[in-house]
Amino acid sequence: MARPSCPACSDNYTVAKVSALYQTVSDDSSRASIGRLDPEEILEWFAPPTAPGPIGRYLAMAIITGLAVCVLSGFAFMWLYIALSIGVVTEMMTYWEHLQARDDYQRALARWRAAYCCSTHGVVFFGGERRVYPPSQLADLIRGAAAEPPTPAPAEGHPVRGVLSAR
């Protein structure tokens, strides 16, 4: 697939995928420079979304606790059953939250993979969209932290033409 053109300058030669830039900087921070961004900013702002944690940790804790109390009480298995019941109920309640977090992660990862950066203007945009964003907003955009999409802002000192002009 061809790289999309930057909405700010209509140039596709200075456009690179955010995921590729992040991988380049994380492999060798001396090789990458994007306009006025230093490698630490790239690692911070262009980081991929974090995956949700594994499920089953409450059940494992309940089993360990139940076995410990069972042994300490002289092998009264009632405590093991109670701990297992608490662990299962807790896991059932957190499973729904895990499913939602996994869906959110998949959407954020797809959005992160669709993000591009123009090194001429130092802006971030998504393929197929005409809006540009400062790189510092990328984490909020892909994770959906803001309830409303932030107001697009052109990079400092670079005029933006057409539908992107500030009014």
Instruction: For residues 51 and 67, give the distance between their C-alpha atoms in angstroms, rounded to a whole number.
Output: 31
Q: Is 129 helix (H, G, I), strand (E, B) or coil?
A: coil
Terminal CA-to-CA distance of the chain, rounded, Å? Answer: 34
Cβ-proximal residues to 5 (8 Å cutoff; 6+ apart), any chain:
11, 12, 15
Longest dimension (CA), the chain: 78
Q: What is the CA radius of gyration of the chain?
A: 24
The model's pTM: 0.66
Helices (H), 15-160: 18-27, 39-45, 57-72, 77-113, 138-143
The 10s digit of each residue's pLDDT in 11-36 is 888 888 888 888 888 887 665 556 66
Q: What does the alpha-carbon distance between residue 128 and residue 48 come to, in Å, rounded to a whole number?
A: 20
pLDDT digit string, tens, across residues 49-71:
989 888 877 788 888 888 888 88
Q: Which has more confidence, 159 or 57?
A: 57
State how far the Cα of 127 lies from the Cα of 20, in Å rounded to an integer: 15
CA 161-163-167 angle, to 5 degrees, is 85
